[in-house]
Amino acid sequence: MNGAGRPFGPWQTRFATPGEAILIQASLHSVQPALRRRLCLGALALGLGVTGALAAPPVGAQGLPDFTELVEKVGPAVVGIRTTERTRGAIVVHYGGFISPELPAFVERMHRSGRFVIEDAAHAPGAELNGKMAGGLSDAGCFSFYPTKIMTTGEGGMMVTSRADIAGTVRSLQHRGRDMDNPLESYVVPGRNNRFTEIAAAMGLSQLRCLPQFLAARRRVAAIYDDLLLKSEVFLPLLANGESRPSYWRYVVMPTLKVDRNELQARLREDKISIDWAYDPPLHLQPVFKTTLGTREGMLPKSEAILSRHICLPVHAQMRDIDCEYVVERLLHHVKEMANLTPQTQ
Ligand SMILES: Cc1ncc(COP(=O)(O)O)c(C=O)c1O
């Protein structure tokens, strides 16, 4: 099995990905070692950086995240990163399971200037761009298998990488900083036990077998939503372009009317429909970054505007076609009713 640090081979077999796939006790920990390798950044709680506002934070020379403004649109146009001379690399979040079509060009630019890119693919197991799997488009990709995600192992996550140096470091940090090439028990860097359990790995194998069905079901839900919402003109769905196959961890829409999200959420709750939105407050406005980095509201106006307006509709592998139709029918009903009650200034 895969708990004790051997590569998670079935992932690579299923997805024909090169390199290694390594299971780690917590997905955030899977990001941290990749960064440590390049940055010597010690104990930076980069997990926080990763969970991210839609803006992926490039990482400065001291291992501190810089937050980066979105370019124009959410999702498929998300990669527009301001790098400075302090930037050593970037973490790109595949929000909702969407991979930006601009990612390959971005990775190439970053590599040309000696920088790295890590994909935070927490939402994106099985998502694809140009036939390549999420996690395999950069130096390393990190997945979350938390119960709310596309597939689960209860807790924990996985890093995939084709880079032997990163894989070696991750394996070492999985084992409290052990020198994995030394037959003796020799510890060379500070670390802790990040090993995945065999039981969780067994659950992962079973979930991996179901992943194609999970993805197909989510894509079916998204296709129904796309169809109905595009006709509505009240919401702009985040659409997959030709080469992109999102995993649809979230189905993201932007209202074209001014909508009070909280009121809409309360109304839909009465219909037993749950909508939500991510990153409220956005990452850069979390107290930890406001106090440690001096970030403030208004710093990333486009990101803040998008985050404050977007809405995520329910997506689940067990939703039936009539459930999707019901969601859209109730959604449009409430939004139109609310619009009639409020003069629109937007
Ligand atoms: C984009 C993103 N990255 C990382 C994480 C963290 O995953 P985990 O809780 O499994 O460590 C999350 C959690 O939801 C997330 O949304």
Looking at residue 2, what is its pLDDT? 45
Taking each helix axis from N to C terminus, what angle separates 321-341 and 261-270, rounded to the nearest 10 degrees?
130
**Atom number in ligand 1 closest to CA 27:** 11
Pocket test for ligand 1, best of 23, 24, 48, 50 (most atoms within 8 A of CB): 50
pLDDT in tens, 90-139: 888 888 999 888 889 889 988 998 988 888 899 999 999 999 999 999 99
- What global pTM score does this model have? 0.85
pLDDT in tens, 226-251: 999 999 989 999 888 778 999 999 99
C-beta of 134 in contact with ligand 1 (< 6 A):
no
Tally of CB atoms within 10 A around 342: 13
| 3-state SS assignment for residue 100 | coil
Domains of the chain: 9-206 (3.40.640.10), 211-341 (3.90.1150.10)
C-beta of 157 in contact with ligand 1 (< 6 A):
yes
231 phi and psi angles, rounded to 5 deg: -75, -25
For residue 320 the two structure tokens come to 């039936």
Looking at residue 102, what is its pLDDT? 82
Judging by beta carbons within 10 Å of its beta carbon (0-12, 13-18, 19+), is residue 343 exposed, middle or buried?
exposed
C-beta of 146 in contact with ligand 1 (< 6 A):
yes
Query: In angstroms, rounded to a whole number, what is the distance separating the alpha carbons of residues 95 and 75?
Result: 7
C-beta of 50 in contact with ligand 1 (< 6 A):
yes
Only one residue has tokens 């440690």, namely: 292
**Atom number in ligand 1 closest to CA 94:** 1
Query: In angstroms, rounded to a whole number, what is the distance separating the alpha carbons of residues 61 and 195?
Result: 29
